[in-house]
Amino acid sequence: MTITTLVRPTTAALGLAVSMSLGACGSDDPGSDSGQTSSGSTSSPSPTRNPSRGDRATTPDATQTRKGDTMQIGITISDQRFTANLDDSAAAVDLLAQLPVTVDMVDHGGVEKTGPLLGSLSLEGQPEGADPEVGDLGYYAPSNDLVLYYGDQSYFPGIVVLGRLDGDAAERLAALNGAVTATIQAR
């Protein structure tokens, strides 16, 4: 056997692997699970944030926690149960990777419950800050806190909106006085 015969099969196998990889990334469909964003660039397991809340993540981790076309989490505080739909963002995927988690939360300013996460979340594709709405689920990057907004919080640097709490969650959170312990799980 000569060196030529060893190199050709290896080169052919490498070419086939590259071809298959590129073919799997070739879809322009933003809803496909190809690992390619709608802009045509490939993504790692953490997709970039798309400004539209209607777009949802297409990573393997996110797919495991979808209900329909939405990444969902469940939040339990005492006997109260809440559901939140996560936006398509690297930060949301990072949050999913930390679940399940129990977070001790304090009331902050009469508008939000905040508590520290185990690890930081990606800020890839995020603006410098945000103006969350009542009922939003957020992340405050400077202190690495998960935030449940039940009141009106104005724009502030470091805020990342992760998604939206369902139904009357904001009203029910407002009725919970003081510190709480929240258990967050993928759904």
Q: Phi-psi category of 171—alpha, beta or left, where left has phi over 0 and alpha has psi -120 to 50?
A: alpha
pLDDT above 90 covers a percentage of the chain that reads 63
pLDDT above 70 covers a percentage of the chain that reads 63
pLDDT in tens, 52-80: 333 333 333 433 444 455 799 999 999 99
Q: H-helix or E-strand containing 185?
A: strand 180-186
pLDDT band at 3 (very low <50, low <70, confident <90, very high): very low
Domains and CATH numbers, the chain: 1-42 (no CATH), 60-186 (2.40.100.20)
- Least confidently predicted of 25-34, 38-47, 91-100, 110-119: 38-47
Q: What are φ and ψ of residue 94, in 5° steps?
A: -65, -40
Residue 69 pLDDT: 55
The residue type at 130: A
| This prediction's pTM | 0.66
pLDDT in tens, 109-159: 999 999 999 999 999 999 999 999 999 999 999 999 999 999 999 999 999
Q: Which residue is associated with the tokens 């594709």? A: 125
Query: What pairing do the DSSP bridges indicate for beta strands 180-186 and 145-149?
Result: unpaired
